Structure 1
Amino acid sequence: MRTTEIFNRLMTAIILASIVVGVIFSFSSAIFDTLILIVAMLCTWEWIRLASSHRKRFIESLLVGAMLALIIGLIFTPVVLPYLLAAAMIWWASLGIMLIRHRSVFSSASWRPHVSHAWILILPAAAGLGGLYRLGEEGPWYVLTLLLIVWATDTFAYVVGRSVGSHPLAASISPAKTVEGAVGGIIGAVLVGFVCLASFPIPNENTTIFWFCLFLLTSGFGIVGDLAESAYKRFSGVKDTGRLLPGHGGMLDRMDSVLSACPVFVAGIFYTLGQGS
Structure 2
Amino acid sequence: MLKQRIITAVILAVLASLALFEASNQSWQWIVLGVGFIAAWEWAGFAQIEALWKKALYAGVTTLIGFYAVETLSDQNILMLTVLEALLLLSVVSRYQRTQGKVGTRSVGYVMLAGILSVVLFTTAFIHFRAEFSPQVVLMSLVVIWAIDTGAYFSGRKFGKTKLAVHVSPGKTWEGVWGGAALAFIISLIGLFLVQPELLFSEWIFALGLALVALFSVLGDLFESVLKRQAGLKDSGKILPGHGGVLDRIDSLLIAVPMLYLLWHFGAVA
Q: How does 1:32-111 map to 2 (within 5 A)?
A: 32-53=28-49, 55-77=50-72, 79-93=73-87, 95-96=89-90, 99=93, 103-105=97-99, 107-111=101-105
Q: Which runs of 5+ in 2 are unaligned?
A: none
Q: Compare the two structures and name the one with the higher strand fraction.
A: 2
- Residue number in structure 2 paired with 1:128: 125
Q: CA shift at 1:30, angstroms?
A: 2.2
Over 6 Å off, 4+ runs: none
Superposed CA deviations along residues 183-225 of structure 1, whole A, max 9, x for unmatched, are 1111111211221111114323422453134213322110000
Give the whole-Å Cα distance in 1 for the aligned partners of 2:47 and 2:100.
16
Q: Which runs of 5+ in 1 are unaligned?
A: none
- Residue number in structure 1 paired with 2:9: 13
Is residue 2:158 matched to residue 1:168? no
Q: CA shift at 1:106, angstroms?
A: 6.3
Sequence identity percentage: 28
Give the whole-Å Cα distance in 1 for the aligned partners of 2:156 and 2:52.
39
Q: How does 1:1-277 map to 2 (within 5 A)?
A: 5-53=1-49, 55-77=50-72, 79-93=73-87, 95-96=89-90, 99=93, 103-105=97-99, 107-113=101-107, 114-120=110-116, 121-135=118-132, 138-273=133-268
Q: CA shift at 1:104, angstroms?
A: 1.4
Give the whole-Å Cα distance in 2 for the aligned partners of 1:87 and 1:6.
38
Q: CA shift at 1:72, angstroms?
A: 2.0
Residues 74/86 of structure 1: CA separation in 2 closer, same or farther (3 Å cut)? same
Counterpart of 2:178 in structure 1: which amino acid? Answer: V
TM-score by length of 1: 0.88
Give the whole-Å Cα distance in 2 for the aligned partners of 1:230 and 1:34.
28
TM-score by length of 2: 0.90
Q: CA shift at 1:62, angstroms?
A: 1.7
Contact 2:188 2:211 (8 Å CA) reproduced: no
Give the whole-Å Cα distance in 2 for the aligned partners of 1:225 and 1:34.
24
Q: CA shift at 1:237, angstroms?
A: 0.9
What is the root-mean-square deviation in Å for CA atoms of aligned residues? 2.2
Q: CA shift at 1:260, angstroms?
A: 1.0
Counterpart of 1:123 in structure 2: which amino acid? Answer: V
Give the whole-Å Cα distance in 2 for the aligned partners of 1:262 and 1:89.
13
Contact 1:225 1:260 (8 Å CA) reproduced: yes
Give the whole-Å Cα distance in 2 for the aligned partners of 1:189 and 1:178.
16
In the alignment of these two chains, the number of paired residues is: 267
Counterpart of 2:85 in structure 1: which amino acid? Answer: W
Superposed CA deviations along residues 221-266 of structure 1, whole A, max 9, x for unmatched, are 1000000101111111111001111121100000011001012111
Q: CA shift at 1:101, angstroms?
A: 8.4
Contact 1:112 1:235 (8 Å CA) reproduced: yes
Contact 1:105 1:111 (8 Å CA) reproduced: no
Name which of structure 1's ranges 44-53 and 221-230 shifts more when overlaid on structure 2: 44-53
Residues 100/241 of structure 1: CA separation in 2 closer, same or farther (3 Å cut)? closer
Residues 58/99 of structure 1: CA separation in 2 closer, same or farther (3 Å cut)? closer
